[in-house]
Amino acid sequence: MNMKKIAILLFTLSVFSFSSCYYDKAELIYTQNVACDTTNIKYSTVVVPILNSNCNGCHGGNAAMGAGIILDNYASTKVYIDNKRLINSILQNGTASNMPKGGSKLDACTIRKINAWINQGALNN
């Protein structure tokens, strides 16, 4: 290969790597800013429905499958917010049991909504 061919090859490779970078960034911006509305997140209107549909089959007060961890009322949910077990379990980051147990990870937007509620003080609102 002569120098000119090598130069063309390098140029082509760099164009491909720049375009893939750009694509990754665009995708990230899309998931963070467009696809997920994290405004006006309240315990009663957003968090309770998420927990009821994904968690309380096992962690509801009458369910026997949640190892005694109750997530169907504010006071006992708050315990697992304060000790970070709840957020770590749904982030599946290796510091708590992965939740929902036996199911697929919650989608990124659902996790961001719970996280937004926690960051605003995890109020009983």
Chain residues in the site for ligand HEC (CB under 6 A): 54-55, 57-59, 65-67, 69, 80, 85-86, 89-90, 96-97, 99-103, 106
Residue 17 or 45 having the CB closest to ligand HEC: 45
**Least distance (Å) between residue 102 CB and ligand HEC:** 5
User: Shortest Cβ distance from residue 38 to ligand HEC (Å)?
Assistant: 17
Shortest Cβ 5–ligand HEC spacing (Å): 55
Closer by beta carbon to ligand HEC, 19 or else 83: 83
Burial of 100 (0-12, 13-18, 19+ CB in 10 A): middle
Query: CA 68 to CA 1: how far, in whole Å?
Result: 69
Question: Which CB sits closer to ligand HEC, 38 or 98?
Answer: 98
Residue 22 token pair? 């750009």
Return the number of the residue (78 or 125) whose C-beta is nearest ligand HEC: 78
Shortest spacing between CB 13 and ligand HEC, in angstroms? 43
